[in-house]
Amino acid sequence: MRRFISITMVLVFALSLGLVGCDGSTGDGLKIVIVTSPSGVDDGSFNEDNYNGIKAFIADHPGASVKTVREMNVDNALPAVEAVVADYDVIVTPGFQFAGIYDIAIANPNKYFILVDCFPTDDNQNVQTAPNIYAMQFAEQESGFFAGIVAAMQTQTGKVASVHGIAYPSNVNYQWGFESGVNYANKYLNTQASVISLPSYAGKDVTGANVGGNYVGNFSDEATGKIVGEALLAQGVDIIFVAAGASGNGVFTAVKENGKAYVIGCDVDQYAEGANGAANIVLTSALKVMAPNVTKQLAAIEDGSFRGGNFTLSASTDSTGFVSTDGHHQLTEQTLRALDDTYTLVKNGSIVPAANFNGYSPFKFPGF
């Protein structure tokens, strides 16, 4: 599936890319395909936000079109891309399971790839770059950190938790960022919150290391998501940070049925999903600003300014954060002030929350 690329092939690849054309279109507009995990483009979170970025581009470029492909088996992510690559100009692939598109991109130098949540890797799992791949990762630990601050400051029971899909780096980043935020609030903001984890749902990251937390094991298993949510609620947890794709819908349902707890949404503003009769269960949402960045790269392909590369987007590029728009959160003034203060410290690098592979832990990180 992946292979060694000779110097000669790289040169041919670069030359071929240069012959694509200035605007990257087919004449009738860009033909775009988005290949997703089983949760699809209507998961109300990660995949949907990437899809919204494509739709925003099409709104400004009516000649462009998009096809959605929902691959039900994450192990078939790459074959799903290979099956459609010949028919489209741009392939958008949200998710860590698509890291292996490097070989596909090399073999299709006249196609463009937008990879979200991971960098492309070769056969030896070494990170690579290609001139036709724009790969974006996010500092999810920053947004998770803000969620942890919120949970610690607004819990009434003193017990908080986070729920995730699969222990991909992005999800572990959210988890450890959340735990970092709770620990920071306990140390500096006069809170006394405990993070609750269920040993039977502990995650193992991509290296096989046990990272703890609460992992459903899937991004589209609402039934198990609800079971995990109910188990946490039974232990007295009253605020749950939900970063689990469509599996998180089950957690939302459990919290709505409980009637005495809240969630913190993830990736996008999920306040609308929190409606529960006349009430709402969403305190705020931890943001990963994907849609505008997807739109930006599609526009770059269209106008000929596209440049491939691997990029980590963070608060320094206004790509992480939290929802503070009136009518879309239930944060106290005290919490909002604390978030504003810590956001500044995160943005300027004074606080660096723990992430899966940044060498820090939730109990030892810069600024703590």
Query: Contact at 8 Å (CB) between 102 and 121?
Result: yes
Q: What is the DSSP letter of 158?
A: S
Q: Is residue 354 in a domain?
A: no
| Shared-domain flag, residues 156 and 203 | yes
Overall size of the chain counted in residues: 368
The CATH number given to whatever domain includes residue 45 is: 3.40.50.2300
Q: What is the DSSP letter of 361?
A: B
Query: Contact at 8 Å (CB) between 286 and 241?
Result: yes
In angstroms, the CA 129 to CA 140 distance is 22
Q: Is residue 361 in a domain?
A: no
Instruction: Read off the pLDDT band of 39 (50, 70, 90).
Output: confident
How does the average pLDDT of the chain come out, rounded?
Answer: 92
Residue-wise pLDDT tens digits, 167-220: 999 999 999 999 999 999 999 999 999 999 999 999 999 999 999 999 999 998
| DSSP reduced 3-state for 295 | helix
Radius of gyration of the chain (CA): 21
User: What distances in angstroms separate CA 15 from CA 9, 82, 89, 106, 109, one per listed residue?
Assistant: 10, 22, 17, 12, 9
What does the block give as tokens for 184? 């920071």
Instruction: Read off the pLDDT band of 7 (50, 70, 90).
Output: very low
- Terminal Cα-to-Cα distance of the chain (whole angstroms): 44
Evaluated on CA atoms 302, 306, 310, 312, the torsion sign reads negative
- Widest pairwise Cα distance in the chain: 65
| Shared-domain flag, residues 164 and 119 | no
pLDDT of residue 118: 93
| Shared-domain flag, residues 195 and 282 | yes
pLDDT of residue 25: 37
pLDDT of residue 44: 82
| Whether pLDDT at 5 is above 90 | no
Quote the percentage of the chain above a pLDDT of 70. Answer: 93
Q: Is residue 23 in a domain?
A: yes
Residue from 213, 214, 152, 144 nearest 177 by CA: 144
| Shared-domain flag, residues 174 and 198 | yes
Q: Is residue 158 in a domain?
A: yes
**φ, ψ at 359 (rounded to 5°):** 85, 0
Q: How many distinct structural domains can be found in the chain?
A: 2
| Shared-domain flag, residues 121 and 225 | no
pLDDT of residue 319: 94
pLDDT of residue 124: 87
Residue from 293, 328, 315, 290 nearest 41 by CA: 290
| Shared-domain flag, residues 214 and 343 | yes
Residue-wise pLDDT tens digits, 289-348: 999 999 999 999 999 999 999 999 999 999 999 999 999 999 999 999 999 999 999 999
| Whether pLDDT at 17 is above 50 | no
Q: Is residue 352 in a domain?
A: no
Domain membership of residue 34 as a residue range: 7-138+291-315
Residue-wise pLDDT tens digits, 126-139: 999 999 999 999 99
In angstroms, the CA 368 to CA 364 distance is 7
Q: Is residue 273 in a domain?
A: yes
| Shared-domain flag, residues 239 and 276 | yes
Q: Is residue 231 in a domain?
A: yes
pLDDT of residue 121: 95
What does the block give as tokens for 73? 């088996």
| Whether pLDDT at 19 is above 50 | no
| Whether pLDDT at 26 is above 50 | no
| Shared-domain flag, residues 203 and 307 | no
| Shared-domain flag, residues 295 and 265 | no
Residue-wise pLDDT tens digits, 130-166: 999 999 999 999 999 999 999 999 999 999 999 999 9
Residue from 227, 279, 260, 289 nearest 53 by CA: 289
Residue from 266, 3, 323 nearest 251 by CA: 266
Query: Contact at 8 Å (CB) between 115 and 294?
Result: no
| Shared-domain flag, residues 115 and 188 | no
pLDDT of residue 226: 98
Q: Which of 9-18, 277-286, 345-354 has the lowest mean pLDDT?
A: 9-18
- What secondary structure does DSSP assign to 89-147, as a single string? SEEEEESGGGTTHHHHHHH-TTSEEEEESS--B-TTS-B---TTEEEEEE-HHHHHHHH
Query: Contact at 8 Å (CB) between 151 and 264?
Result: yes
| Shared-domain flag, residues 191 and 55 | no
| Shared-domain flag, residues 338 and 204 | yes
Q: Is residue 365 in a domain?
A: no
